[in-house]
């Protein structure tokens, strides 16, 4: 097997924004789209096993991580266009797509916008838009402002406690502390989080026809997810024709960091098997 390689790359887009991607591995390209307020750190646990079989293109959405700050409001559809433009600049005509949480909404939009390009789709701890799904409790702008006034480490601990299995802190303290550290070291800018939150609220209020997704789709959820109801994964499975739903037992919203090897195995098996 060739030695694994990685690189960082910035992409100047037609919108005028500059989007960053961390690229690692060999094999079929896999576009990976992170969730709310995140750069690519939620993929840290699954990155190593997956990069041995796939070329991972882990983007930072507009305004997040190392990508340029958005100067105006945008829509989730714009983030999907950003992702497609990155893959076009890389020369990838066909590729797999994986989205986690908010990134799952972006991934769904990518699959609907460019069905001829998306080979397989993986949706992790996410939902669909519209009233068919269990409603997510939205963040208010004032709530976000108040939350960001907290000490950053305290905020990181609270976020972790709210998004991992409630037994993890006692049963696997090293794993819990690792997730806290990742959150602390990869904090997002408040102004950019507010803009992204507006885009999420706008998108979730719409009705989307998920039957337009033609790619075989893996839907993964944690059975104890308190952020996005696991029921929404079941609904996604019913609305996307070529779909498979799998549940990661004993995990919450951050199951890709709670049980990374099991999560990676589900993804690798799905992407590597004829469907």
Look at residue 35 and tell me whether its pLDDT is greater than 70.
Answer: yes
Name the residue with tokens 């266009």.
81
Ordered by where they begin, the domains of the chain are 6-272 (3.40.50.1820)
Strand partners, 20: 10
pLDDT for residue 245: 97
Is 14 a residue whose pLDDT tops 50?
yes
Reply yes or no on whether the pLDDT at 158 is more than 70: yes
10 Å Cβ neighbour count for 65?
A: 22
pLDDT at position 1 is: 41
Instruction: Please provide the average confidence, as pLDDT, over all residues in the chain.
Output: 95
219 class by beta-carbon count within 10 Å (0-12 exposed, 13-18 middle, 19+ buried): buried
pLDDT of residue 6: 77
Write down the pLDDT at residue 3. Answer: 55
- Which position has the higher pLDDT, 189 or 3? 189
pLDDT tens figures, 105-143: 999 999 999 999 999 999 999 999 999 999 998 889 999
Q: From the centroid of its chain, how far is CA 203? A: 15
What local confidence, expressed as pLDDT, does residue 5 receive?
Answer: 66
% of residues, the chain, pLDDT over 70: 98
Tell me the per-residue pLDDT of 53-99, one tens digit each, with 9 for 90 and over: 999 999 999 999 999 999 999 999 999 999 999 999 999 999 999 99
State residue 274's pLDDT score: 78
> Tens digits of per-residue pLDDT, 167-221?
999 999 999 999 999 999 999 999 999 999 999 999 999 999 999 999 999 999 9
Whole-number pLDDT of residue 86: 97
Q: What pLDDT, on the 0 to 100 scale, is given for residue 138?
A: 83
**CA angle, corner 141, sides to 136 and 142, nearest 5?**
115
Q: Round to the nearest angstrom and report the end-to-end CA distance of the chain.
A: 26
Strands 18-24, 6-12: pairing kind:
antiparallel
What pLDDT score does 275 carry? 66
Taking 80 as the threshold, does the pLDDT of residue 2 lie above it?
no
What's the confidence (pLDDT) of residue 29? 97
User: What's the predicted TM-score (pTM) here?
Assistant: 0.96
Residue 237, pLDDT above cutoff 80 = yes
Residue-wise burial string across 76-114, b where 16 or more C-beta atoms lie within 10 A, e elsewhere = bbbbbbbbbbbbeebebeebbbbbbbbbbbbbbbbbbeb
Cα 117 to chain centroid distance, Å, stands at 19
**Which two tokens mark 220?**
């993964």
């Amino acid at each position: 097997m060739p030695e694994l390689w990685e690189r960082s790359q910035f992409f100047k887009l037609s919108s005028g924004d500059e989007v960053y991607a961390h690229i690692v591995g060999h094999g079929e390209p896999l576009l990976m789209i992170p969730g709310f307020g995140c750069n690519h750190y939620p993929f840290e646990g699954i990155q190593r096993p997956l990069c041995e079989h796939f070329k991972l293109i882990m983007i930072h959405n507009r305004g997040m991580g190392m990508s340029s700050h958005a100067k105006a409001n945008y829509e989730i559809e714009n983030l999907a266009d950003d992702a497609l433009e990155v893959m076009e600049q890389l020369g990838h005509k066909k590729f797999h797509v994986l989205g986690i949480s908010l990134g799952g909404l972006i991934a769904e939009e990518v699959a609907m916008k460019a069905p001829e390009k998306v080979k397989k789709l993986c949706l992790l701890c996410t939902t669909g838009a519209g009233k068919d799904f269990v409603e997510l409790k939205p963040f208010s702008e004032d709530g976000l402002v108040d939350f960001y006034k907290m000490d950053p480490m305290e905020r990181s601990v609270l976020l972790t406690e709210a998004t991992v299995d409630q037994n993890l802190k006692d049963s696997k303290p090293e794993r819990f502390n690792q997730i806290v550290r990742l959150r602390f070291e990869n904090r997002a800018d408040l102004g950019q989080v507010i803009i992204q939150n507006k885009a999420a609220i706008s998108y979730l209020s719409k009705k989307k026809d998920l039957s337009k997704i033609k790619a075989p789709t893996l839907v993964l959820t944690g059975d104890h997810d308190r952020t996005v109801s696991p029921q929404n994964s079941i609904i996604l499975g019913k609305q996307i024709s070529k779909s498979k739903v799998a549940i990661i037992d004993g995990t919450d919203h951050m199951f890709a960091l709670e049980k990374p090897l099991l999560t990676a195995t589900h993804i690798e098996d799905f992407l590597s098997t004829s469907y």
